[in-house]
Chain A
Amino acid sequence: MVELRDEDLMLLAREGDEEAFATLVTRHRVAILNFIYRMLGDREVAEDLSQEVFVRLWANAKTYAPVAKFTTFIYHIARNLCRDQIDKYRRLPPIASLSQEVPDAEGHVHLLEDEVRDRRGGPQAELLKRERDLEIEAAINALSEEQRTIFVLTELQGMSYREVADVVGCPVGTVASRKSAAFKALRDRLAPLQS
Chain B
Amino acid sequence: MTCREIRELIAAFLDDECAPDLRAEIESHIAACSECRAEVDAFKELSTLFRSKPLIQPSDSWLPSLERKLLSAKLARLTDELFRLRRTTEQLSARIAGLEQAGASPRPDNDLMTVDELAAYLRVTPQKVYEIMDDLPRIEMNYEVRFRRSSIDQWLKLREVSPAGVVFEWSHWVSGSRPSLSS
Contacts and interface: CB of A to CB of B under 8 A. Distances in A.
Given A37-B56, A176-B11, A29 B17 contact: no
B144 interface: no
Contacts of A54: 66, 70
Interface in A28-57: 29-30, 33-34, 37, 43, 46-47, 50-52, 54-55
Interface in B23-66: 39, 42-43, 46-47, 49-51, 53, 55-59, 62-63, 65-66
A186 B11 CA distance: 13
A34 B56 contact: yes
Contacts of A29: 58, 62
B17 A136 contact: no
A136 B49 contact: yes
A18 to B, nearest CB: 9
Contact of B58 (A50, A58, A155, A176): A50
A155 B123 CA distance: 89
Contact of B46 (A51, A52, A186): A186
Contacts of B84: none
Contacts of B59: 47
Interface residues of A, number: 37
B55 A58 contact: no
A131 B73 CA distance: 42
Interface stretch (A67-75, A93-101, A106-114, A177-185): A177-185
A51 B51 CA distance: 24
Contact of A58 (B9, B57, B73): B73
A27 interface: no
Nearest to A58: B70
A164 to B, nearest CB: 10
A135 to B, nearest CB: 10
Contact of B9 (A30, A59, A180, A190): A180
B46 A183 contact: yes
B133 to A, nearest CB: 65
Interface string A153-195: 0111000110000000000000011011011101100110000
Interface of A: 25, 29-30, 33-34, 37, 43, 46-47, 50-52, 54-55, 58-59, 132-133, 136, 140, 151, 154-156, 160-161, 176-177, 179-180, 182-184, 186-187, 190-191
Interface of B: 7-12, 15, 17, 39, 42-43, 46-47, 49-51, 53, 55-59, 62-63, 65-66, 69-70, 73, 77
